[in-house]
Structure 1
């Protein structure tokens, strides 16, 4: 996914305000679910009261991104467990690394007021395996 840094993404110094990177990476994950896994979020939530909560995220900001920069994002599955998975996401601009994140999410079901992890369905797991960083 490529995305231009917009005015709304920047702080008064004209560089990306760090929380906006998390919006961008969330957009990438949502697009990956829709296009890569053939499972749009809308379908996840409409069928079976599912959830994909973010459990942990770590980010390294390597260089500032500025208004108008074109960021190229990449995504790879770093870990695929029974009920959870890890993603490595990177953003580059003109070959320079700007952001690298490692994050973990769970496959879960909402049950009343609680969310409980459950096994990733085999068909979704098989699609995720296609994106494994080191199969």
Structure 2
């Protein structure tokens, strides 16, 4: 299983897939800052948008699935608070592709100055939906992940 160094994920290369999002009321806890697991929802939503942008929309793939990609590992490092109403750039900044799994790295940066608030990474294992045995990372996703680069 590949893991990125958190300092590597603070960088945002030109090849990154970016999405602007807003921190919603239901994202925050009683302290008024983002509730820690909500980070993974924002990352997952950006990953789904990435799938669509690469020509592999997840909603179509799930109608008659040729593959599934459950999460094997997820982690996040928090550097600065995110609050209700903050505009955040969620960027898929790194991808490491192995035969049957992909480690994707994300950076969440707030405001016009792009203050890095969180970096996260998830390892997805591609499996056959009937047998749940590992399968190869399918095209066009493999090529799209490789373009983002490690």
- Alignment TM-score, normalising by the size of structure 2: 0.79
Corresponding residue of 1:28 = 46
Counterpart residue number, 2:3 = none
Unaligned runs of 5+ in 1: none
1:132 correspondence with 2:142: no
Q: As a proportion of its length, which structure holds more strand?
A: 1
- Of residues 31, 52, 68, the one that matches 1:51 is 68
Q: CA deviation at 1:47?
A: 3.4
Name the TM-score, length of structure 1 as normaliser. Answer: 0.88
Deviations 1:57-116 (A, max 9, x none): 1110111101111011110343111111111101000221111012111111111xx522
Distance 1:98 1:44 in 2: 32
**Structure 1 residues 33, 91: CA separation in 2 closer, same or farther (over 3 Å shift)?**
same
Q: Which residue does 2:24 correspond to in 1? A: 6
RMSD: 1.5
- Of the candidates 120, 142, 146, which is equivalent to residue 101 of structure 1? 120
Match of 2:133, SS state, is strand
Aligned residues of 2:51 and 2:141 also touching (Cα < 8 A): no
What is the count of residue pairs matched by the alignment?
130
1:124–1:25 distance in 2 versus 1, CA, 3 Å: closer
